[in-house]
Amino acid sequence: MPRRSPQITVMINAAIKCARGLQRDFGEVENLQVSKKGPADFVSAADIKAERVLHAELARARPDYGFLLEESGVIAGSDSESRWIVDPLDGTTNFLHGIPHFAISIGLERAGRMVAGVIYDPLRNELFWAEDGIGAFLNDHRLRVSAREELGEAVIGTGMPFKGRESHPEYCDQLERIMGRVAGIRRMGSAALDLAYVAAGRYDGFWEYGLSPWDIAAGMILVTEAGGLINEIGGGRDLLASGDVIATNSHLHEPIGRLIENRGR
């Protein structure tokens, strides 16, 4: 069994406590689907409540750390180099529609680097976690990215433009190019879990544009600690700023990148 550091233990405990409320609320959302008003207001309240639980738990354990929260934004801490980057409910649209695929995501950034991450799928009880220099794990099992080398054998995750988000003008062309070369493409609706699945070798790669820092912070360190590569589409490294993400195993990074950027075959 891997040894969990105090900071990872704090993150895991906060995620598990938050999950109890989301599990209860998810059951209620399923009942609300038939109502005329619909579950949107309820889900918004559930999201905010979950964020409050995470903030309270993490702040109690590390009162000097700052926060970057999806709902509440930036909260400065006296330790200017350390901050939690938190998404209490990644996959809100799935949650809204009673689709059982969503997660809690907590990343710890120190001096501009991601040093720890936790992604928890409460319905499957799958706890993905990673720490700088320690490795990436699913519950207590070590994770490694896939070893596939051929595009024709690869399953790739993505996130498609949707209402309320700026559509990348080249996305449909990218999708067509990649669909013609890989074994399959999946759009599951939770970027945090998409990155966790790359780390676990379930996906051989993932790409998406315009993600927020809380969508990817924990997944970044999961992928790297599992032996994968993650950077900006086009080769940059300021992922938290751009949110334009490509993550793969080492064999497929260049060929998938070429297809996304249309740099020939």
In this predicted structure, the answer to whether residue 263 has a pLDDT above a threshold of 80 is no
Residue 30: pLDDT band (50, 70, 90) is low
Question: Which pTM does this prediction carry?
Answer: 0.93
CA distance 39 to 46: 10
In this predicted structure, the answer to whether residue 167 has a pLDDT above a threshold of 80 is no
Cα angle 186-101-112, degrees, rounded to a multiple of 5: 85
Per-residue pLDDT of 235-257, as tens digits, reads 877 899 999 999 999 999 999 99
- Average pLDDT estimate for 83-106: 93
Based on the number of CB atoms within 10 Å of its own CB, is 256 exposed (0-12), middle (13-18) or buried (19 or more)?
Answer: buried
Per-residue pLDDT of 191-233, as tens digits, reads 999 999 999 999 999 999 999 999 999 999 999 999 999 999 9
For each of the domains in the chain, give its residue range(s) and CATH number, in order of start.
6-142 (3.30.540.10), 151-261 (3.40.190.80)
Q: Which two tokens stand for residue 60?
A: 């109690």
